[in-house]
Structure 1
Amino acid sequence: MENIICAFDGLRFSESTKEYAIFLAKLHNAHLVGVFLDDFTRRGYKVYETVVLKGTPIEQLKELNEIDKETRKLSVEKFERACQEAGLNYSVHRDPNFAIRELLHESVFADLMVINYHETFSNRTEEPPTHIIDDLLSDVQCPVFLVPNKYNSIEKLLLLYDGKPSSVHAIKMFSYLLPNLKHLETNVISVKPPKESHHMPDNRLVKEFMKRHFPKADYTVLSGYPEEEIVQSLRIYGGNSLVVCGAYRRSAISMFFNQSIADTLMREVKMPLFIAHNK
C-alpha cells in the first residue's frame, strides 16, 4: 500500500482518526494524506441561531469566522506535528467545497481512506452511521477504515465471511493493503441457519484460500440470525479487535452484510471496521 488518506473536520478534529491513520501508515511505510474538508458552508457556530435569531452584528460574525479559521489552522498543525514525530512522509489537502463531494473525489486516488464513523462535518451529532458516512460508503472508490472515537491497539482480526463474493473480496483487499497485520490472531466468523451444518460455506475452498492469506486463522460458525449472533460474538472479543466486512448496501448482496449489519456494527461494537465492496 502506498497512499492512505485520512479525513478531518478541521473544526472538530478527530484524534482517533489521526492515531489510527499514523499507526497504519507507519506500519506499512505508506504516504499519509491529511484531507481537511473546509466546506465553505461549515461554521463553528449555528448560522440560523446566531444570525437570524440573535441578530449578531456583522463585526462579531467576522470575529467568529476568524476563530474558525484559527481552529482549522491549529488542526492542520496538530496533524503535521504528529506525522513529523512519527517520521512519516505526509501531505495536507485543504478542500473548500462540499465535504462529501470532495471526499468521494479524493477516494478515487487513494488506496485506503481512514475516517471516524461518527463524522458529520457539521455542528450536529448523529448516531452512526451518520448521513455523511452513509453517503460515503455508498459511492466511495477505495476501501474504508472506519474508526471509533477512541483509539485502541489492534491485537486481533475478525473476518466476517458468508460465502458470497463480496465477503471474500473484502478479505482479499485487506490482505493486499494491510499485509503487516496478517500475523495477528485471526478468526473467520460465519453465521448459518440453525438447521444447517456447522461447516463454513464452501468449506474446502475457503480454507485453502485462508491458508495462503491468513495461515493462522481459526474458524467460528455461529447458528442463528446474523445480526444478533455477529454482534454478540464481537462483543466477546473486545475493543482491541479489527472487523473486516464486505459489501455495503448493494441490491444483490447477502443479508449477512446488508445495511442493518454494517449500521449495527458501527453503533454497537465500537471497533475499527475495514469495509470494501466490489462494484
Structure 2
Amino acid sequence: MKKLLLVFDGNHFSEGAFKMANFLHEQEPMLITGVFLQPIDYRDMVGYSSLGVSTPISVTPYPTDETAITKNMAKFEERCEHAGMEYRTHRDTDMFALQELQKETRFADLMVLSSQLFYENISKDQPNDYLKKILRQTECPIILVPENYILPSKILLAYDGKADSVFAIKQFTYLFPQFYNWDSKLITLEEDGEEFPHQDLIEELAAKHFANLTLEMISDETRKTFHTWIKSHKDYMLITGAFGRTELSNIFSKSFLSDIIREHSIAVFVAHK
C-alpha cells in the first residue's frame, strides 16, 4: 500500500485534489494522509540586515480561521470514511509551512495538491511563489490538479532525452503500473533538424510500461498550437520532469509548465531527483 499526501492550506478545501486522491485509491488502495497547513509561511517574513545577518522583527500572525480548518479536517475525515479509505490527519501548524510540507514529502510516495487553490491568498497567479518553491523542494512526486477537470484516461509523456524527463517517466510507471493499458503519447521537440533523442532506448523502456504507446516529434509549427491541442484533450495527464531546471528543453521549460498550470486544463505529474 502506498502513502499519498493530500494537501490543504489555510481555509481551502480542494475538491479537485480530493477527487484525484479518491480516483487513485479506487485504482489501488492507498493510505491518504491529509496535511493541513498554516495560511502563510512566515519564513518569507524574516528580515535580514545589509550584512546578511538575520535581525529580530516583530511578526504579526496571519489571521487563521481555526474553525474553518477544523471543519475542513472533519470534512476530509468524513469523505475518507464514506469512500472506505484508510486515512490520517496531520495538522502542521509550524510557522514555516513549506518546510513542514517538504518534511512530509520525505515520508510519502506521492503528493496531490490543487494547482489552482494552493496558497491563493498569497497570489492567485499560479504557479505562485509558494507553489514554485514546493515544486523545487518536494522529495516525492506531485500530481497537480485544477479544481474543475476531467479525470485522466490517457498519458502524455514529455521527453527531451535528458535524465529528468526519463526519471519522471520511470517514477510514474513505478507508482502506477495499473495504467499499463492507457493510451500513451510520448512527445519530444524537434530541434535544429536533430533526430528523435535516443529513440531506440526510450522506446524499448516505455513500451514495456505502456501497451498503447505512440511517439511523436513536435515541429516548431506544431509547438505554436500545442497549448491549444492540450485544451482540447483534457483527458490526458502530463508527465514531466523537474520544474524550472536548465536540463529541460524549451518546450518543457519553466514557462511551458507555468502556462499549463495557469490554464487549469489538465492534471500534471511532476517528479525529480
Q: Provide the TM-score with structure 1 as the length reference.
A: 0.83
Alignment match, 2:206 = 210
Distance 2:260 2:41 in 1: 30
1:17 and 1:147 in contact (8 A); partners too: yes
Alignment match, 2:119 = 121
Question: Measured at CA, do residues 263 and 41 of structure 1 come closer, stay the same or move farther in structure 2, by a change above 3 Å?
Answer: closer
2:105 and 2:138 in contact (8 A); partners too: yes
User: Shift of residue 119 of structure 1?
Assistant: 3.3
Alignment match, 2:66 = 69
Which has the larger displacement, 83-92 or 268-277? 268-277
Q: How many residues of Structure 1 are paired with residues of Structure 2 in the alignment? A: 252
Match status 1:24 vs 2:21: no
SS of equivalent to 1:208: helix
SS of equivalent to 1:123: coil
User: Shift of residue 109 of structure 1?
Assistant: 0.6
Matches within 5 A, 1:1-279: 2-39=2-39, 68-97=65-94, 98-121=96-119, 123-193=121-191, 196=193, 200-224=196-220, 228-237=224-233, 239-268=234-263, 270-278=265-273
SS of equivalent to 1:217: strand
Query: What amino acid sits opposite 1:2 in the alignment?
Result: K
Query: What amino acid sits opposite 1:69 in the alignment?
Result: E
User: Shift of residue 125 of structure 1?
Assistant: 4.0
Distance 1:163 1:154 in 2: 25
Identity %: 31
Per-residue CA deviation, residues 138-178 of structure 1 (Å, 9 max, x unaligned), is: 11111110011114221211111111111111100000012
SS of equivalent to 1:94: strand
Distance 2:199 2:130 in 1: 37
2:12 and 2:117 in contact (8 A); partners too: no
Question: Measured at CA, do residues 85 and 10 of structure 1 come closer, stay the same or move farther in structure 2, by a change above 3 Å?
Answer: farther
User: Shift of residue 124 of structure 1?
Assistant: 4.0
Cα RMSD of the aligned pairs, angstroms, is 2.3
User: Shift of residue 93 of structure 1?
Assistant: 0.4
Distance 1:69 1:75 in 2: 10
Distance 2:204 2:41 in 1: 51
Return 5+ residue gaps in structure 1 as ranges: 43-63
Alignment match, 1:56 = none
Q: Provide the TM-score with structure 2 as the length reference.
A: 0.84
